[in-house]
Amino acid sequence: MDLLRIEHTDFTLTVESTRFDAMWRKGVGNLGAEKLRSTYRWGDGVERVVLLNENGEVRELVPSIDTEPAIFFEQTDYSVWVDFKSDKVTEACFDSPRKDVNERFSWKKDKQLLAGFLNYGNEIGRADMPIVYTLDGVQKRFVFSYDVISAKLDYHNDWKIIVKDIEEEYRMLSLDYLRRTYHGIQEGAGETFDLIWWNIFHSLQEQFIKACHNIIDRPRHRLRSIEDYKRADQIRHFTPMLEQQIAEHRSEETRLYRVEEQQNTYNTPENRFLKHALGTIQKRYSSLADRILMQNKELAETERTRIGETAQQLTHLTRSPFFRTVGRYEGMKQESLVLQRDVNYSKIYRAFAILQKSFSLNDGLYRMETKDIATLYEIWCFIQVEKVVKELTHAEAEQDNRQELNGLFTYSLGKGEHSKIIFKKDDVTLAELIYNPRHSDRDDVKGIGNLESRTVPQKPDIVLQLTKDDLQEGMKLTYLFDAKYRMEKDGANDVPPDDAINQMHRYRDAIYFNAKHDNEQLKKEVIGGYILFPGKMDEASRFRHSIDEVNIGAFPMRPDQKQHQLLTDFIADLLRKKAVEVVEQVIPQKGTTLAVKNRVLVGVVKPDNPQYANFFDGTATQYYSGDTFPTTIPLDGIDFFAPYIQGKGVRDLYEVMGIHTATKAKGAEDDKLRITFELKYARPLFDDYRIVPLPIVYTFNDTLLDHLLP
């Protein structure tokens, strides 16, 4: 269906889309029609702009600050037709800096038609439709601009919150280069990064170069006094004192007289500033231009030409003979009215001052491109999980510099161990949060410690590891979160896509723990996996219930803080639970019995035990029962042994590695067979020995780990 028609003096531009109705209905269902608004702008020569709204009604637009119903959405195909009214148009093209965008348009001279299609993917923001054509030998350029909005999030509010949260945590991480949409920025605090500098100068370069040309062609100068010695016949202007000297020495024809003459000079403070500003900008522009032209294959040929021509113009200006008599700039001793009021000098001064400042991503005059919304959403979700864990644990977050230079001069968040945040309280690690690790059995990938995948690499977005000490000292329970900037409808409810949920099942099945020592077998690692998506959900959702049932599900994550509560409550419950409770709730494999490692045998250790002394320093490797062992205690399934020292109590916990019968020691007088427990030190249960309230009647007591802990 036709969505937009622009009647220009030279052409008629039409925008069509077959999926617009579906996207509009989706946006209205998620956000409401009042949030689906756009501001439209266009260049000269336009006679009429007609917008067809969702009901097929015709609406004529005027270029103003008022918003109108949006027609450009993310992930939507649009056909663009430019029918020229004259047969004297020799060529026409879509003039984007990106090569792949321009290649989607074709010029048909025999039909005087430029046609192509646009799809902005996940890039939302302000966009231009630049049409360049040659009519009667004169090249013309027309630009139509509009907002590309989201059908899932409120572009006018939610996007700003997401970017603000990211920039507060990671300066410059939101910015990118060669995107199809852009956003307004204004002056802020901080460093002037290369990417900011490049984008700002792009909007200033035409007037900056023109002002430089104007000054060099008609530079300002000033008079200065120059001392010289001349013969009387060479002097043009005579002072009374000079006339008297000539009269006194009239007979000396070769005598030289001291004179002062006024000469014009271009070595003024303003021209010295111009030389400094032009030289500084030329060096930085040339350096960045070389990097862009060499490293960026996506750059359109027209953009390459523009960049090269600008670099040449700046270089040519710096080599002008005008600067030969201009000295070095050493600052301004006082304010210069010339720099403030002169038309051309003030433009140079203003441009240079702007380039020395930093900028923030708020609505402003200058353009800046950002990462696509899907990437921003993923980073934002990571930051939100970090904030939730920090708030719930009241812990200090330890982290290194987690940003990495990506490509030309943009940044990405470090992956795997490079992004790790450790939450500590009183020097005790409570949790670890990691972004985008890649699990594989290869050693050169950015993963996590001993976690790996034996088949294909797995790459979850967010990994949360909680440290629990009740079952084993330093035991880590792993939970995965995947941020998906996608959602579907299940009746009136928002739900994550099926393939996203299936991915969480795959992660849990594919990521294993490999201790890489003692010939231990691979062990299952991931407890649960959860999708974070930009929908709305409540406790009644089936994907919230599925978390309690199978530990796979989803949570809504939107800038609306009310939607964070489900995730906050869930993570709070994870922090509260002991490892024993978590392991007990893991669903066992069919046909097997799940043996939860929480059964403890408490046994009295007497001084006549061969390893009595070793139990004090944690080096004991065996425990021998007496010559009798109670038949009421089943040996099968004993996981831990807690030595009870007579007169002191219990302090340490050992893992039972094996049980068999043996004598106390070879060659000992007492050669009776006893129950022998092979031990491995696990961790201390208490800081010091403690008398536990257990009835040690028959030297042994069979209990659970939970009963020993306070």
Report pLDDT digits (tens) over 551-572: 999 999 988 767 688 899 999 9
The average pLDDT across 16-37 equals: 92
**Domains of the chain by start residue, with CATH:** 2-156 (no CATH), 188-219+268-368 (no CATH), 222-265 (no CATH), 373-584 (no CATH), 599-708 (2.30.130)
Higher pLDDT, 601 or 366: 601
Calculate the CA dihedral of residues 535, 538, 542, 545 and round it to 10 degrees.
130
d(CA 247, CA 245) in angstroms, rounded, equals: 5
CA 301 to chain centre: 29
Q: DSSP code of 690?
A: B
Residue 410 predicted with pLDDT over 80: yes
Report d(CA 97, CA 361) in Å as an integer: 22
* Mean pLDDT value across residues 268-277: 90
What residue type is assigned to position 189 of the chain?
A: A
Predicted local distance difference test score (pLDDT) of residue 520: 64
pLDDT at 518: 53
Report the C-alpha dihedral over residues 532, 534, 537, 541, rounded to 10 degrees: -50
Which of 526, 441, 535 minimizes the C-alpha distance to 487? 535
Please work out, in degrees rounded to the nearest 5, the angle formed at the alpha carbon of residue 338 by the alpha carbons of 334 and 343.
150
CA distances for 125 relative to 20, 148, 154, 461, 557, angstroms:
18, 5, 11, 25, 21
Averaged pLDDT for residues 461-476: 85
**Mean pLDDT across 298-303:** 91
pLDDT digit string, tens, across residues 635-669: 877 889 999 988 888 999 999 998 888 776 544 45
Is 70 exceeded by the pLDDT of residue 443? no
Task: Select the highest-mean-pLDDT range: 121-130, 464-473, 538-547.
Answer: 121-130
Phi, psi of 84 (to 5 degrees): -85, 140
| Predicted pLDDT at 710 | 65
Question: pLDDT band for position 694 (50/70/90)?
Answer: low
Which contiguous run of DSSP H or E holds residue 464? strand 462-468
Neighbour order of strands in the sheet with 366-368? 358-360, 183-188, 366-368
Q: What angle do CA 82, 83, 85 make, to 5 degrees?
A: 135
* 453 pLDDT higher than 60: yes
Q: How far apart are CA 350 and CA 208, in angstroms?
A: 9
- pLDDT tens per residue across span 301-343: 999 999 999 999 999 999 999 998 888 988 877 778 888 888 8
Cβ atoms of residues 420 and 433 within 8 Å? yes
Q: Which residues, other chains included, contact 155 with Cβ-Cβ below 8 Å and sequence gap of 6+?
A: 35, 124, 125, 147, 149
Give the sign of the dihedral formed by CA 360, CA 362, CA 365, CA 370: positive
Q: What gap in Å lies between CA 149 and CA 33, rounded to an integer?
A: 12
| CA-based torsion, 543, 26, 559, 461: positive or negative | positive
Mean residue pLDDT of the chain comes to 85
Cα-to-chain-centroid distance, residue 264: 56
- DSSP H helices, 13-135, are 20-30, 99-102
Mean pLDDT, residues 341-367 taken together: 83
Closest Cα to residue 558, out of 150, 23, 124?
Answer: 150
Counting Cα atoms < 13 Å in the Cβ hemisphere of 584 gives: 11
3-state secondary structure of 674: strand
Flag whether pLDDT at 275 surpasses 60.
yes
Residue with tokens 């002991």: 578
Contacts (Cβ under 8 Å, ≥6 apart) of 206: none
